[in-house]
Amino acid sequence: MKKSTGKIIIIVAPSGTGKSTLLKMIFNEFPSLLWSVSTTTREKRPGELEGKDYFYTSKDKFESMIKHNEFIEWAKVHGNYYGTSRAYLSKVISEGNIVVCDLDVQGTDSMIQNFPDHTRAIFIEPPSIETLRLRLRKRATDDTGVINTRVNNAKSELLRKHDFHYLVKNDDLDSAYEQLRSIFREIIG
């Protein structure tokens, strides 16, 4: 892993900030980037696809995968497990690829700790907590209880916004995208 020239770009943002929206735009512009598909125990949302958005699994299976050291990092987020495949990430990085991960702050911390020379993390913040709540409502994929949990977690995640390599505010989508694409250009080199 250490000798490789690959890179890991992490997008870290409270749920509902707009990272999926921005990442769709990034992948259209930078098609050579690879996407790290995480494994999760959360339920599949309408429109999501197995193997594209996530690998969906049970709690028991996820815990057995933890025991077998199959995750390079994993975390419990909003009451569900999420993890990054050790086999996939190690392979694509050793082949010199640039891989993009969507991780929470715990996963981002552990990836930076494990691969400090390979990893760059971009925190994306919403304009305000109220806007975040409105975006989660507008997306209409989660019920009120889940939205409240996500908004509460956002408050603690936002305390960490200055701890990473880059910070972008997603207020106006086009200007957030402009900032993000120049950060990607800089990292990709």
**Interface with ligand 5GP (CB under 6 A), residue from 7, 9, 26, 38:** 38
Applying CB under 6 A, does 112 fall inside the site for ligand 5GP? no
Q: Which amino acid is at 77?
A: V
Complex with ligand ADP: residue 61 or 151, whichever CB lies closer: 151
**Interface with ligand 5GP (CB under 6 A), residue from 7, 62, 100, 102:** 102
Complex with ligand ADP: residue 62 or 177, whichever CB lies closer: 177
From CA 53, how far away is CA 32, in angstroms rounded?
18
From CA 55, how far away is CA 42, in angstroms rounded?
10
**Residue 6 touches which of ligand ADP, ligand 5GP, none (CB < 5 to 8 A by kind)?**
none
Q: Which residue has the tokens 């696809």?
A: 49
Applying CB under 6 A, does 161 fall inside the site for ligand 5GP? no
Selection from 68, 91, 176 nearest residue 126 by Cα:
176
For the chain, report the end-to-end CA distance as a whole number of angstroms.
Answer: 20
According to DSSP, the residues that pair with 64 across neighbouring strands are none
89-148 residues near ligand ADP, rule: CB under 6 A: 135, 138-139
Please choose, out of 25-33, 56-64, 73-81, 91-99, the segment that lies near ligand 5GP by the rule CB under 6 A. Answer: 73-81
From CA 150, how far away is CA 142, in angstroms rounded?
10
Q: What's 164's DSSP letter?
A: S
Q: Measured from the CB of residue 108, what is the shortest distance to ligand ADP in angstroms?
A: 14
Q: Which residues bind ligand ADP (CB under 6 A)?
A: 13, 15-21, 135, 138-139, 170, 173, 176
